[in-house]
Structure 1
């Protein structure tokens, strides 16, 4: 965490803080993404796009409409609505010919052309000949896939491991995958395909840190269940985030705050927005200004207009 940089917006320019709330890169960029793999995509004041390192050196300038973050050795770039791949030296690995690219982080990627998705290697050769309407990111050598309107899971050889019988199927997280038979009600299955939580929920999040968010009806309130389908936090929130570092960002009465796994407030709902905790800090906004809180609810970087 000591070397983590936190993106900050001030006076409509982007820079970065350290975990003490001190500027390590001044707010001078028109746009900036979070650091990934020691590099951050930025748009400079002259409109040029590129990547900076943590010394604020521009290490790559790329002629593109949009730049993605690095996932392993690769990042995506978009030119005229077509997506390609570059490496850390700025060399084009895959030209911008795909409608969409999902990087797997292992020198393979999922590419979409003419509405169909395939798994490719670093030379853009198809690894699997199977044609799919959708492929999800590689996760523990498994991928969510869709064909003929049904979802299931395949392995890295294209073999079916969860049958294509679901209207929706997510990837396995903490041993459970979210599924729906009709796109109306959702539950969880285990790796044998058996329901461990029946499809009785209107909406679910994947399990994270042992809890999954749920709501029971349209415009209903959000709460949390455990893998035994026991309600741990009663549904009372307008929106929630997955638990991260033991904390969830929640919305109540149109304002945001943070709760712990018992549903107790760490910071009450007083913010315009609140993001999930990452590397020990949570990003909030208050009346348009950004700030960061630590896990004790103390300010690391306080918005200038916050006076409570």
Structure 2
């Protein structure tokens, strides 16, 4: 049985519902985030901040924190007094707040962090893995992370060895074995892990691949469509904006409203919502004129906005 809970808003209060659309944690919070690894960040109306479990128990309280991130690979990024660190699920500091910034938690529980304007890689206990020598260092995805020095970007492995030289003006993380890059900041294509273009740099803008499809558009102000990993434009350019495919569906914008399409470009919901989010653990969250709701992959309501 799926016990995942979903963030829900009702009358300016936040709580959580289950996959059947039933309230499990009533709307009682000023702010919430989705559950991640069994914990969710919340803020109460008397300004307490911390993490609750699925039983609505505040198991970690950090009222003085300026930022509380979601848990990922056993750690959550937090900030205190303008510095960043990481806590574990017991609320203990795995890394005391001493960094200027932390990018994201990698699958190995390492993270890219900024020290005095330079970025390096550190393990879960804040031990240095790669010296902070980069102007920017991304999260590791599929074994590689992008880095930037002197305005040029490339990719390194987890040992700090350069795998793809820094010849690009702009890059994204690898997804599905491909990363979008640009040599001139204007024309984008996809490279493989050898740094070879497999989809030529002829696009004005690209999204990352997800479930084998990536959003693209060919000119500024142009419509969006989707291409596959062979570079074939499989869904025509007809949308104002597009998001990633998750669980076979993607949110798209058309005529100032949002809906969902399947992998063939067919609408499941067309131009119905003020906002539509990517699917998450089997449900898609929508906003219908200020009210939240959830649908399943068949396009059926799980939680229907009262005003719909």
Q: Does 1:127 pair with 2:148?
A: no
1:82 equivalent in structure 2: 83
1:41 equivalent in structure 2: 41
| Alpha-carbon distance in 1 for matches of 2:164, 2:305 | 48
1:235 equivalent in structure 2: 237
| Alpha-carbon distance in 1 for matches of 2:289, 2:81 | 35
Q: Deviations over 1:31-50 (max 9, x none)?
A: 00010010001001210101
Counting matched residue pairs gives 306
Are residues 130 and 82 of structure 1, via their aligned partners in 2, closer, same or farther at CA, if it must alter by over 3 Å? closer
* Gapped regions of structure 1 (runs ≥ 5): none
CA contact (8 A) 2:257 2:274 kept: yes
| Alpha-carbon distance in 1 for matches of 2:29, 2:255 | 34
**Structure 2 length as normaliser, TM-score?**
0.96
2:60 equivalent in structure 1: 60
Of 251, 254, 272, 1:252 maps to 254
Q: Does 1:269 pair with 2:271?
A: yes
1:4 equivalent in structure 2: 4
* Gapped regions of structure 2 (runs ≥ 5): none
Structure 1 residue 130 displacement after superposition: 5.5
Report runs of 4+ in structure 1 exceeding 6 Å deviation.
none
| Alpha-carbon distance in 2 for matches of 1:121, 1:296 | 42
SS state at 2:307 partner: coil
Q: Does 1:98 pair with 2:99?
A: yes
| Alpha-carbon distance in 1 for matches of 2:125, 2:52 | 27
CA contact (8 A) 2:142 2:175 kept: no
SS state at 1:220 partner: coil
CA contact (8 A) 1:286 1:303 kept: yes
Structure 1 residue 74 displacement after superposition: 1.1
More deviation, 169-178/154-163: 169-178
| Alpha-carbon distance in 1 for matches of 2:276, 2:56 | 27
Structure 1 residue 218 displacement after superposition: 0.9
More deviation, 22-31/68-77: 68-77
| Alpha-carbon distance in 1 for matches of 2:84, 2:131 | 21
Structure 1 residue 54 displacement after superposition: 0.3
SS state at 2:293 partner: strand
Q: Deviations over 1:4-61 (max 9, x none)?
A: 1110011111100100000010010100001001000100121010110001111111
1:280 equivalent in structure 2: 282
Q: Deviations over 1:226-265 (max 9, x none)?
A: 1222111110100111111111100000000011111111
CA contact (8 A) 2:118 2:132 kept: no
1:181 equivalent in structure 2: 183
1:299 equivalent in structure 2: 301
SS state at 1:70 partner: coil
Structure 1 residue 106 displacement after superposition: 2.2
| Alpha-carbon distance in 2 for matches of 1:39, 1:227 | 35
Are residues 40 and 97 of structure 1, via their aligned partners in 2, closer, same or farther at CA, if it must alter by over 3 Å? same
**Structure 1 length as normaliser, TM-score?**
0.96
Q: Deviations over 1:164-195 (max 9, x none)?
A: 11111222211111110011110011122211
